[in-house]
Amino acid sequence: MFHVKIYTQLLKITFLLFFMHGCSQMPGINKNPKNQIGSKKIEKYYTIKDVEIAIIKINNLNETEINNFNTININELDYSIKEFESIYNYKYSYVLGASDVISINLTDTDDIDGSYTIDPYGDIDLPFVGKIRIEGLNINKTQEQLIKILKDYYNNPSLLLEIEEYNSSKIYILGAIRNQLTINLDQKPIRLIDAAIQADYNPNAQDKLLGSKGILRRNNKVYKIDLNKVFKSRNTRENFYLKKDDILFVDRNSESIQVFGEVTKPGIYYPNDDFSLTELISTSGLNKLTANAKKIYVIREDYNQFLKINVFELDISNPVNLILGKRFKLQSKDIVFIPPTKLVQWNRVISLLTPQTELFTSYNPIIQDGLKSNSENITE
């Protein structure tokens, strides 16, 4: 009878540990991701709460919708010159902006002669005239704008205009390169290769920590670039002029897909084109004992919208759905995550809280006393 009471207590403790799992936290994705609306604020710093998250269930998509997601990809600069005339045919000229300093010399009078700093709103404040918006104009357009306004105050105004300080126009080169830097632009244009050399980019480098491919962000659009091809290209148009606020991000594993979770071979994959989700699951080796086959996640950045992530979810608990996974094509930079089942999570929590080798150690005296008492009773 005493043994029954002890084992009953032990059973209660076991269930209590399982119950404690509900209050514990596991690393990684431990609950279903939820749709989240991104913040519309305009600030310098953002957090994960400002990211818009869209949950897309692949099982609910029709053929057309799957094809649409398969074709949405980053534009390829290195293959379609004619398609990107706005990039290759761009003629550089310095565009004025906040913090730039210009000097004005009115020929017939010195009423407004002097240096002027463009304010954060893109204006300069002239005596007797007031504020004039010149942000976004080059030096010639600015001169035309000033003369047009000054005609209301002076007869046949003529002025000399110069840029004294270049402070507003910058380009940024980041990522897997030796020298991440910000380049200040001035009247002299700079081409892609020149900027890459300033960043200490070497097309012949074999360093695995460095990259050769990346993306160019310009005017809220994203273009894909292969720097090695630009260096080797015989077409001079490939070496295009950079523009104010261009961001060039060089990635070490730009064509890779990262796979982790309940698979036998997690890691980085470099698939060919038209590599499907089903093929990746087969290649990485789904762990049938621990994987939650109802929730296979593909996490993908939406380059067409600021701070947005699409999370695709596939249920392959029914093997027929592997056909849908075969139609869904993976893209570079995708993250594939296969979570564990709830039972596996519980087991892992218990193993973290109380290793099996030490489970119920504190009850050993009771167990031993019980056995001893029983043995004495049997002897008697």
Mean pLDDT throughout 229-257? Answer: 86
Find the DSSP H helices in the chain: 2-20, 63-71, 85-88, 139-150, 192-198, 227-232, 277-284, 322-327, 342-353, 364-379
* Domain containing residue 227: 76-91+169-251
Name which of 7-21, 50-64, 170-184, 347-361 the model is least confident about.
7-21
> What is the model's pTM?
0.53
Return the pLDDT at 177: 86
Domain identity same for 268 and 371 = no
Domain identity same for 84 and 178 = yes
Domain identity same for 262 and 193 = no
> Domain boundary residue among 165, 185, 205?
165
Average pLDDT of the chain to the nearest whole number: 80
Q: Is residue 68 part of a domain?
A: no
Domain identity same for 146 and 204 = no
Burial class (CB in 10 A: 0-12, 13-18, 19+), 129: middle
Domain identity same for 14 and 112 = no
> Domain boundary residue among 251, 282, 310?
251
Total domains, the chain: 4
- Number of residues written out for the chain: 380
Domain identity same for 53 and 197 = no
Position 80 pLDDT exceeds 50: no
Domain identity same for 229 and 304 = no
Domain identity same for 260 and 287 = yes
Return the pLDDT at 40: 62
Amino acid at 322: L
Return the pLDDT at 24: 41
Q: How far apart are CA 142 and CA 137, in angstroms?
A: 6
Return the pLDDT at 380: 43
Domain identity same for 260 and 159 = no
Name which of 6-15, 153-162, 198-207, 213-222 the model is least confident about.
6-15
Domain identity same for 212 and 84 = yes
> Domain boundary residue among 232, 251, 270?
251
In angstroms and rounded to an integer, the radius of gyration of the C-alpha atoms of the chain is 32
DSSP string, 121-182: TSEEEETTTEEEE-TT--HHHHHHHHHHHHTTTSSS--EEEEEEE--S-EEEEEESSS--EE
% of the chain exceeding 70 in pLDDT: 75
pLDDT in tens, 352-373: 665 545 555 554 554 455 544 4
Q: How far apart are CA 150 and CA 275, in angstroms?
A: 63
Domain identity same for 261 and 333 = yes
pLDDT in tens, 130-167: 999 999 999 999 999 999 998 888 888 888 999 999 99
CATH of the domain at 245: 3.10.560.10
With tokens 């309940």, the residue in question is 262
Domain identity same for 156 and 53 = no
Q: Is residue 42 part of a domain?
A: no
